[in-house]
Structure 1
Amino acid sequence: MPTLSVKLPEETKQRIQSLAKSQGTTAHAVMVSAIEGALEKEEHRNTLVAAALRARNGVLTSGGVFEGKKFGDYLKAKVRGGKSKRPAEVPFKNFIGGS
């Protein structure tokens, strides 16, 4: 396994050692777990941001959006097994003060 040298403040080092001791593990294991957790969190965030940007681009390209309440009512009806007509898209400019 490759190694990586990280300079930590003494207080952080002590916190890691204290946590490792309380968990019956090593400081190395605590650091690996913390890094893995931080990476997963940030990768998930990046995925969400990318999806949001794709959605934004879709709205800007199509110019259409759904009214929140109408679309929410539609989804609730679908989940309950009822028949519901998908609401029509409305121009995005109606929601941003355009004319």
Structure 2
Amino acid sequence: MSTTTLRLPPDLRDRVSRLAQRSGTTAHSFMLDAIAERVANEELRQAFLDEGNARFARMLETGAGLDWSEMRDYLRERAAGGSPITPKAKRWRE
């Protein structure tokens, strides 16, 4: 494992120390967990954006997509616990 030095402003260092102590861990472990969580969230965010961009490119390439009103109704019914039929892609441009 490599070593990296973090220069923390005194107020942030004190907050980390306080929270780590209350969590029953060390400041080092607390910071590692915080960094790991942020990295995982950013990776998930990037994957979400990449998938959205790929889907948008495919939509532009094929000219097919989902009707928003049908998709909105589908999502509402799913959120309410229902089992709606998944909307089918349709040509939206020629």
Change over 3 Å in CA distance of 1:57–1:88 after alignment to 2: closer
Count of aligned positions: 85
Map 1:1-99 onto structure 2 (within 5 A): 1-70=1-70, 72=74, 76-77=84-85, 87=88, 89-92=90-93
Q: Which residue of 2 aligns with 1:96?
A: none
Task: Report the RMSD for the aligned CA atoms in angstroms.
Answer: 2.3
**Contact 1:59–1:92 (8 Å) recurs in 2:** no
Q: Greater relative contact order: 1 or 2 (C-alpha under 8 angstroms, separation 6 or more)?
A: 2
3-state DSSP of counterpart to 1:77: coil
For residues 25-80 of structure 1, what are the alpha-carbon distances to aligned partners after superposition, in whole Å with 9 as ceiling and x for unaligned? Answer: 1000000000000000000000000000000100110112121334538x7136xx
Higher-Rg structure is 1
Q: Given residue 46 of structure 1, which amino acid in structure 2 is its aligned partner?
A: Q
- The TM-score, its normalising length taken from structure 2, stands at 0.78
**Aligned partners of 1:57, 1:89: CA distance in 2, in Å?**
16
Question: Scaled by the length of structure 1, what TM-score is found?
Answer: 0.74
| Structure 1: gaps of 5 or more residues | 79-85, 94-99
